[in-house]
Amino acid sequence: MDILQTPATNKPASDEQILELLRSDRTFERGFRLLMSQYKERLYWHIRRLVLVHEDADDVLQNTFIKIYKGILQFEGKSKLYTWLYRIATNEAITYLQSKARHAAASLDDTTTLLTNRLQADEWFDGDEVQVKLQKAIAQLPEKQRLVFNLRYYDEMSYEEMSAMLDTSVGALKASFHHAVKKVEAVFREV
Amino acid sequence: MKPEKVSFMKKELLDDELKEHSPLLRDAKKQGDGFRLPEGYFEALEDAVFSRVDSAGVRRKPVLETRRGGLFGRFSRSGIAWAAAAVFVVVLAAAWFFKTRFAQPSAPVATTQQELTAEEIETYVVENIQDFDASLIAAVPVGELVPPETKSATPIEHNPAASDPLDDLSDEELELLLKEMSDEELENLLKT
């Protein structure tokens, strides 16, 4: 069936339909807009929970989409599209946090404090005491553990999907998540 | 299997997992995370991204699809434009060729001669004298080859070959005039 002649419906476009539009110069922009509308919310929340502050999340998300715009034709389809998109978004967010930490010449502890302080100052965060405590506890996790925790706890990604995205075995991811849960809970109780 | 059902199952599995490992975090999750968004953020995001794509100068230009089939469908627009320009040049060249080849050569020359004054023709000939054939120049009366500036610098009344007022005087009148003239005046008259 020709995608271009399909009448507009509320049904979300499949990855295959998006990729087909992206393959032609004539329909590239339409395909890219479709990709953004399909994934912008999921990618935003994934990024937001890593960088915490809306302004930073917006910046990182836009950078992510520009990277995707430039590189989408190199996507070979060996993995699922959303896996590839998540990977780019994750790399962008981590690079952003690292550059922030470098800029502030901060240690991990300092970076955690920096993040949570910024979160509390963010006008787009109105969490109560419990929610602030939880974010502080998550922010204290090492980078990879924090990523695994967020993907599972907030994005509710399956271990198989996480395995494809992070190139890590399902067993290692399960262990990492459980370990992270225990740490967060311990800090959560302390704070 | 429907995606909604898959999502529900994932949630259920996570819920079971948290129930087993951390009931505290399970309860905390139900309270939400406190993150908010500016109103209309996602609606404006696409244009914001395209604006940055434009600023970075990496925007892909949509290519117009060429028509398939038909006489002109096989060619691009620029190809047709070049062909049209070539046809125009050929038609123009052909028109010029036939006009110059079959037109009567004497007619425009005659018209030109009629439009030019004698002085203009003379100026042209003098200025281009070196381009003329020697035999043609030889056939022209000598007086007509004098450059115009020379002629204008030589007033007619001073030309000895032209009519001299002294010629109109009788011998008596001339003799009387000569007697009245000083030597200096006479000298001047001879010089001219």
Place B1 in a pLDDT band, splitting at 50, 70 and 90. Answer: very low
Q: What percentage of chain B exceeds 90 in pLDDT?
A: 13
Check if B61 contacts A (Cβ < 8 Å): yes
Using the CB atoms, write b or e for B65-86: b if 16+ within 10 Å. eeeeeeeeeeeeeeeeeeeeee
Give chain B's end-to-end CA distance (angstroms, integer): 128
Task: Show pLDDT as tens, one digit a residue, over chain A (191 residues).
Answer: 444 434 455 677 899 999 999 999 899 999 999 999 999 999 999 999 999 999 999 999 999 999 999 999 889 888 899 999 999 999 999 999 888 877 776 665 677 777 888 888 899 999 888 899 999 999 999 989 999 999 999 999 999 999 999 999 999 999 999 999 999 999 888 76
Residues of A in contact with B63 (CB under 8 A): 25-26
Q: By residue range, what is the domain housing residue B79?
A: 71-103
Identify whether residues B110 and B77 lie together within a single domain. no
Query: What ipTM, to 2 d.p.?
Result: 0.85
Of B156, B171, B186, the position where a domain reaches its end is B156
Whether residue A135 and residue B33 make contact (CB cut-off 8 A), yes or no, is: yes
Q: What is the 3-state secondary structure (H, E, C) of B72-121?
A: HHHCCHHHHHHHHHHHHHHHHHHHHHHHHHHCCCHHHHHHHHHHCCHHHH
Answer yes or no: do B97 and B134 share one domain.
no
Contact B14 A153 (CB under 8 A): yes
Q: How many domains does chain B have?
A: 3
Assigned token pair, B132: 């003329």
Measure CB to CB from residue A126 to each of B11, B36, B48 and give the nearest one: B36
**CA dist., res. A68 & res. A92, Å (int):** 11
Calculate ∠ Cα B32-A36-A95, nearest 5°.
70
pTM: 0.62
Residue A124 burial (C-beta neighbours within 10 Å; 0-12, 13-18, 19+): middle
User: Which residues of chain A from 118 to 147 reach within 8 Å of chain B, CB to CB?
Assistant: 124-128, 130-132, 134-135
| End residue of a domain, out of B61, B79, B103 | B103
Residues B119 and B151 in one domain: yes
Tell me if B161 is assigned to some domain: no
* pLDDT at residue A106, rounded to an integer: 61
CB atoms within 10 A of CB A3: 16
Could you state, in order of their start, the residue ranges of all structural domains in chain A? 12-105, 127-191
Q: Tell whether B88 and B114 lie within a shared domain.
A: no
Compute the distance between CA of residue A49 and CA of residue A45 in angstroms, rounded to an integer: 6
Is the same domain home to B122 and B91? Answer: no
Q: What's A12-105's CATH class?
A: mainly alpha
Q: Which of B25, B32, B61 sits opposite A184 (nearest CB)?
A: B25
pLDDT at position A78: 84
- CATH architecture label of A127-191: Orthogonal Bundle (1.10)
**CB atoms B53 and A66 under 8 Å:** yes
Taking an 8 Å cut-off on Cβ atoms, the answer to whether B46 and A126 are in contact is no
User: Which of B10, B49, B66 would you mutate first to test chain A, the one with the most A CBs within 10 A?
Assistant: B49
Q: What phi, psi does B35 have (nearest 5°)? A: -80, 135
pLDDT for res B12:
58
- Listed in sequence order, the residues at least 6 apart from A94 whose beta carbon sits closer than 8 Å to its beta carbon are A50, A143, A147
Does any domain span residue B185? Answer: no
Residue B149 domain-assigned (yes or no): yes
Domain-embedded: residue B65 = no
* Residues 6+ away with beta carbon under 8 Å from B86: none
So what's the pLDDT on residue B77? 59
Identify whether residues B80 and B109 lie together within a single domain: no
